[in-house]
Amino acid sequence: MKRLFFWKNSDTGDEGPTRPDGEEATGLLTGNPAEDAQSLEILLESIAEVSSSIDLEEVLRHIVDKTLEVSRAERGLLLLGQSAEELEVRMARDKDGAVLGSDVVYSQTLVSRCLELGMPERSVVQSDREALELGQSVYNLKLRAVMCAPLRVRDRTIGVIYVDSTAVRREFSSRDLALFGALSAQLAVALENARLHADSLEKVRMQKDFEIAKQIQKHLLAPIPKNHPGVDVAVRFYARDEASGDTYDLVPLSGGRMVGVIGDVTGHGVGAALLTHAAQAAMRSYLELIDDLSEVATRLNNRLCASVETGNFMSLVAVLVDPEARTLHYVNAGHPSVILVRNGVVQQFEKTGMVLGVVDQQIYAAAGPIPLEPGDLIVLRTDGVDETRDPERQLFGEERLVELLAGLGDTDADGALGAIEAAVSRFARGVLQDDDLTMMALKVTESIR
């Protein structure tokens, strides 16, 4: 609990409270009208100036400058964090207004003591031995006086305000410490208000970014073709955030052929959404000129390797369905398997290469042709299906999905995805999932021959 003393010294012999180190705690009000008026004026002016802005950077600067003015110290530091181990120098300036940088050295010993006791601390250094007791930094900098106070809001520590001086003539008195402590209480409130304001502005900005990304995503996702000759198509797309790292596309080719694509970029949010749709746009442009899935995937990988930061990658599966020839070709770059269901029998076609965007000049093989028959159901999905978790943190898993598909019976593409969707929802039992979820089903109908 923070203890700030605003009592008057009296002539009754009553010494008043003492600090844990045994030193008498002299309050802000001394009983001297002139000194007390000056202290209150300094305190009120400082509070008014620091509280006049809600711009976080300006408030940080005001806090350090006013503490330097009040204490008449040579250096002032504002450190933010809830413990000595977490503290970071957020603002550091000297009495002339020069910025000192975040690597400035200070008395960590006194700051730690200040946080531990939860009250203002000061030290007057009168010998090399005393300097070393406060830390090597105090000795090396030849500091003469050091003072700090915790910044606390609603019984929560948010940082420390710290000043020091090398001037032999400047020693921080008990009255200085009381004034410093009183000021720190108001500085903490001003800092918290400014930080809350900055957080609210950032949330509004991020929300706008998400809304923009969401609209972009909505416009870029492919429409589901109705009555495509020889193929019945359905899609399910669920973004866990406002913007998703999943994407899908349906690209018609000559001769009634169609390419279905599902991709999944690492991460969520605006950055992942923009990357998925950049990849989607690139792949669509390749498919307009090339119908070889191997070459398309290889080109896309090279493009991602050249433009995406290390650590980001994309899994992708693309299937080329030819209703005329009744064949399936596919390429799978590190993605969950392609599933083919025929008369209750489930076949799984595994990866043909690693994820995209990791190894440049990697050649991606395409598999096929795989014969198709009317009634065949092709199912693609992102790992958000398999990795759906129930309240006990168990995974839905590939085995449950295969068992479900084997027992579907005769249903159209939309009915198949609806059954998967319902099964996944029942399994999750209301648990909010971490990953996006995308599914695509393509059912072979009568040949267009």
- CATH architecture of structural domain 33-199: 2-Layer Sandwich (3.30)
Whether the per-residue pLDDT at 253 is higher than 80: the answer is yes
Span 36-87, pLDDT tens digits = 555 555 555 555 555 555 566 777 777 777 777 777 788 888 888 877 788 8
Is residue 17 left, alpha or beta, with left meaning phi > 0 and alpha meaning psi from -120 to 50?
beta
CA distances from 240 to 192, 204, 426, 432, 437 (A): 31, 19, 18, 9, 8
Residue 11 has pLDDT above 50, yes or no: no
Q: d(Cα 266, Cα 217) in Å, to the nearest integer?
A: 16
The sheet with strand 258-265 has its strands ordered as 246-252, 258-265, 314-322, 327-333, 367-371
**Lowest-confidence region among 189-198, 233-242, 317-326, 397-406:** 189-198
Q: In terms of pTM, does the model score above 0.95?
A: no
CA distance 179 to 355: 62
Residue located via tokens 């000795």: 139
How far is CA 446 from each of CA 180, 216, 233, 252, rounded to the nearest angstrom? 85, 36, 14, 18
Confidence of residue 171 (pLDDT cuts 50, 70, 90): low
Structural domain spans, the chain: 33-199, 221-444
State the Cα angle at 358 between 352 and 362, rounded to 5°. 50
Measured CA to CA, the distance from residue 387 to residue 279 in angstroms comes to 24
**305, pLDDT greater than 50:** yes
- Mean pLDDT across the chain, nearest whole number? 76
Measure the CA–CA gap between 428 and 181, rounded to whole angstroms: 53
Q: What is the CATH number of domain 221-444?
A: 3.60.40.10
d(CA 383, CA 434): 11
Q: What pLDDT shows up at residue 30? A: 52
Q: How confident is the model at residue 18 (pLDDT cuts 50, 70, 90)?
A: very low
Can you tell me the distance from the alpha carbon of 81 to that of 160, in angstroms, rounded to the nearest whole number? 8
Give the Cβ contact number of residue 154 at 10 Å.
Answer: 8
pLDDT score at 169: 53
Average of pLDDT values for 281-303? Answer: 86
Which stretch of DSSP H or E encloses residue 142? Answer: none
Per-residue pLDDT, 314: 84
Q: Do domains 33-199 and 221-444 have the same CATH topology?
A: no
> Which pLDDT does position 146 carry in this prediction?
83
Cα 329 to chain centroid distance, Å, stands at 39
